[in-house]
C-alpha cells in the first residue's frame, strides 16, 4: 500500500508502532519524520531504537545534526536537520553518505527534500487539539520496496 | 622519481608507492571503516612494507574528487599536512581521470561516479595509444540527460563506461546507447593516481590543491532554474 493512517493515543502506542516498523527495515532504508514541534518525531525514534535495545542511549540530535546508534543488526542514524541552513550544509557534513550505511531516521527531512533518496517512507505526525496524548501518523511509501513494507506493517499491527 | 599516491574519494581507501610509473607496493582497502580511521595507519604500513619513510618520497599524488565529500577532505587535509611539514611536492588528480585508466583499450571512455538520485559525476576521454584526451569536461549530470546528449551526437557511439555509476545505470545506458560496453574494473585504485601524478606534476604549490566537488551549490542551482524559466 502507498498510504497508511494510524492513530496513536499515547506515547507508548507511538513506541509500539515504531518498534513494529523497525522489524521490517534494513540497512540502506530511509524514514523521513515530519510534523510540528512536539508532534512526536523524537518519541517515535526512541521507540524505533527500543527494537534494537538502544533506547537508553538516545539524546536529541538537535545540536549535532546526526546521532549514531550502533547495533549488530544495523547502525541507526538519527538526524534532525531543522537547524541546517541549506542543502549545501547537508552535503558538506557528508549527510548523503549516511544513506547506504545504515537506517536513517530524519526529523524535518522535508527541508532537505532534494538530497533525500528517491525512495523512502515519509511519516507525518498530526497533533489533536482536543487531546494532548493523541496523534495521527500518516505513512506514505515512495517506491515498491516501501509499499511492501507498509503492507507488512499494517498486517503486523492488526495481529 | 618516487611517488606516494592516495585515493579516498570512494569507499576504497587506497595508498600506492611507485617508482615513476612502476608500482612498488599498493594497498586498496574497503573495510567499512571511515577513511579518517584507516588512512594514516595504511600510509604508515605501506611505507613500512616498502622500507621507506616519507622523507624518501619525491611527490605525493592525491585524488581530489569528485566523490565522497568527507573522504576527499580527509585525503587532501592529510596530504597538505605532509607537504607542509616535510616540504614534499604534491599534485591533485581528479577521480574521473583516475578511473578512466581502468580501461586500457583505445577508444571513447566515459567515467561515471554515482552521485545518487539518478545523478552522476562524469567525464569523457578518448584513449589514443595511452594518451587520454578529454572530450567532455568533468561535470555533475542527471544520467538520463547525459545519455540523451550523447545519443544526439551519435547514437552509434561505441563507448566504454567505467565506474560505479556505470554499474548502477547499466540498464538505461544499454537502452539509450546499445553499442556501449563496460569496463571490467570499476573501482578507484591508488596506482592510477600515481601514474597520472607522474605525468602531470609541475611543481604547483600544494596550497592550491582544492577538492573538486562539481555539485552545484543551492544558490547556483536556483539561479539556473530562474534563467531557464525566463527563456
Ligand atoms: N501519542 C503520542 N505520541 C507521541 N508523543 C506523544 C503522544 N502523546 C503525547 N506525546 C508527547 O509529545 C511530545 C513529543 O515530543 P517529541 O520530542 O517527540 O517531538 P518532536 O516532533 O521530535 O519535536 P521537535 O520538532 O521539537 O524535535 C513528548 O513529550 C511526548 O511525551
Ligand atoms: Mg525532535
- Return the biggest CA–CA distance within chain B: 63
CA B159, B97, B205 angle in degrees (round to 5)?
A: 160
Banded model confidence at residue B179, pLDDT cuts 50, 70, 90: very high
The mean pLDDT of chain A is: 94
Which numeric CATH code is attached to B103-182?
3.30.420.200
State the pTM of this model.
0.91
Of A94, A99, A117, the CB nearest to B69: A94
Hey, of B116, B216, B217, which one would you mutate to test binding to chain A, going by the most A CBs within 10 A of its CB?
B116
- Decide: residue B226, CB within 10 A, 0-12 exposed, 13-18 middle, 19+ buried: exposed
Sign of the C-alpha dihedral, residues A134, A140, A145, A151? positive
Weakest mean pLDDT among A9-13, A70-74, B143-147: A70-74
| Residue to probe by mutation, ligand 1, list A16, A33, A37, A40, most atoms within 8 Å of CB | A40
Nearest CA in chain A to B32: A101
Using pLDDT thresholds of 50, 70 and 90, give the confidence band for residue B223: confident
- CATH code given to domain B2-95+188-219: 3.30.420.40
- pLDDT for B155 equals 84
Q: Tell me, what DSSP letter sits at residue A111?
A: G
Region B1-22 average pLDDT: 97
B134: pLDDT strictly greater than 60: yes
By Cβ distance, the residue of B69, B117, B118 closest to A92 is: B69
Identify which of A86, A88, A96 has the shortest CB distance to residue B116.
Answer: A96
User: What pLDDT score was predicted for residue B220?
Assistant: 84
Residues in contact with B124: Cβ distance below 8 Å, sequence separation at least 6, in sequence order: B108, B109, B110, B111, B134, B135, B136, B159
Which pLDDT tens digit goes with each residue over A1-17?
999 999 999 999 999 99
Q: Model confidence over A88-142: pLDDT tens digits?
A: 999 999 999 999 999 999 999 999 999 999 999 999 999 999 999 999 999 999 9
DSSP H helices, B65-169, are: 69-86, 95-100, 143-153, 164-168
Q: Quick one: average pLDDT of B79-104?
A: 95
What structural domains and CATH numbers belong to chain A? 2-158 (3.40.50.300)
Q: How far apart are CA A25 and CA B104, in angstroms?
A: 42
**pLDDT band per the 50, 70, 90 thresholds, residue A60:** low
Pick the residue whose CA is nearest to atom 8 on ligand 1: A133
A39 CA → ligand 1 middle, Å: 5
Separation in Å, CA of A113 to nearest CA in chain B: 11
Find, in chain B, the residue whose alpha carbon is nearest to that of A120: B117
- Inter-chain contact B118–A91, Cβ cutoff 8 Å? no
Distance, in Å, from the CA atom of B4 to the CA atom of B24, rounded to the nearest integer, reads 10
Considering only CB atoms, A94 lies closest to which of B70, B117, B218, namely: B70
**Fold: same for B2-95+188-219 and B103-182:** yes
The verdict on a CB contact (< 8 Å) between A88 and B118 is no
Q: Which ligand is nearest to the CA of A36?
A: 1
Residue B158 has pLDDT above 60, yes or no: yes
d(CA B5, CA B12): 13
Instruction: State residue B98's pLDDT score.
Output: 98
List Cβ neighbours of A79 (8 Å cut-off, separation of 6 or more). Answer: A61, A65, A66, A95, A98, A104, A105, A106, A107, A109
* Cα–ligand 2 centroid distance for B120 (angstroms): 33
Using a 6 Å CB cutoff, which residues line ligand 1?
A 8, 10-11, 13-14, 35, 37-43, 107, 132-135
pLDDT at residue B225, rounded to an integer:
82
Which of B212, B210, B164 has the alpha carbon at shortest distance from B185?
B164
Domain ranges of chain B: 2-95+188-219, 103-182
Ligand 2 center from residue A136 Cα (angstroms): 16
* Residue percentage of chain B with pLDDT more than 70: 100
Amino acid at each position: 500500500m502507498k498510504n497508511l493512517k494510524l492513530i496513536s493515543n499515547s506515547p507508548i502506542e507511538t513506541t509500539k508502532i515504531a518498534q513494529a516498523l523497525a522489524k521490517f527495515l534494513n540497512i540502506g532504508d530511509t524514514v523521513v519524520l515530519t510534523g510540528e514541534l512536539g508532534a512526536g518525531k523524537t518519541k517515535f525514534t526512541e521507540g524505533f531504537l527500543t527494537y534494537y535495545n538502544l533506547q537508553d542511549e538516545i539524546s536529541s540530535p538537535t545540536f549535532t545534526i546526526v546521532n549514531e546508534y550502533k547495533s549488530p543488526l544495523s547502525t541507526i542514524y538519527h538526524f534532525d536537520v531543522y537547524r541546517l541552513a541549506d542543502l549545501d550544509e547537508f552535503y558538506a557534513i557528508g549527510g548523503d553518505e549516511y544513506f547506504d550505511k545504515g537506517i536513517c531516521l530524519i526529523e524535518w527531512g522535508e527541508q532537505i527534500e532534494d538530497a533525500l533518496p528517491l525512495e523512502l517512507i515519509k511519516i507525518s505526525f498530526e497533533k489533536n487539539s482536543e487531546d494532548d496524548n493523541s496523534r495521527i501518523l500518516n505513512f506514505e511509501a515512495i517506491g515498491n520496496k516501501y509499499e511492501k513494507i507498509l503492507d507488512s506493517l499494517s498486517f503486523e499491527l492488526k495481529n | 622519481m618516487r611517488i606516494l599516491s592516495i585515493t579516498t574519494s570512494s569507499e576504497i581507501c587506497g595508498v600506492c608507492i611507485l617508482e615513476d610509473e612502476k608500482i612498488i607496493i599498493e594497498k586498496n582497502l574497503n573495510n567499512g571503516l571511515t577513511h579518517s580511521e584507516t588512512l594514516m595507519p595504511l600510509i604508515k604500513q605501506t611505507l613500512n612494507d616498502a622500507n621507506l619513510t616519507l622523507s624518501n618520497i619525491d611527490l605525493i599524488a592525491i585524488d581530489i574528487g569528485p566523490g565522497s565529500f568527507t573522504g576527499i577532505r580527509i585525503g587532501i587535509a592529510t596530504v597538505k599536512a605532509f607537504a607542509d611539514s616535510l616540504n614534499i611536492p604534491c599534485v591533485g588528480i581528479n577521480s574521473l581521470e583516475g578511473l578512466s585508466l581502468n580501461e586500457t583499450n583505445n577508444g571513447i571512455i566515459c567515467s561515471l561516479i554515482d552521485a545518487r538520485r539518478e545523478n552522476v559525476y562524469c567525464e569523457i576521454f578518448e584513449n589514443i595509444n595511452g594518451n587520454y584526451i578529454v572530450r567532455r569536461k568533468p561535470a555533475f549530470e542527471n544520467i538520463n540527460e547525459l545519455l540523451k546528449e550523447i545519443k544526439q551526437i551519435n547514437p552509434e557511439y561505441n563507448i566504454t563506461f567505467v565506474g560505479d555509476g556505470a554499474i548502477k545505470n547499466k540498464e538505461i545506458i544499454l537502452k539509450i546507447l546499445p553499442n556501449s560496453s563496460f569496463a571490467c574494473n570499476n573501482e578507484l585504485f591508488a596506482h592510477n593516481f600515481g601514474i597520472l601524478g607522474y605525468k602531470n606534476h609541475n611543481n604547483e604549490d600544494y596550497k592550491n590543491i582544492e577538492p573538486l566537488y562539481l555539485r552545484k551549490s543551492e544558490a547556483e542551482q536556483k539561479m539556473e532554474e530562474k534563467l531557464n524559466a525566463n527563456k
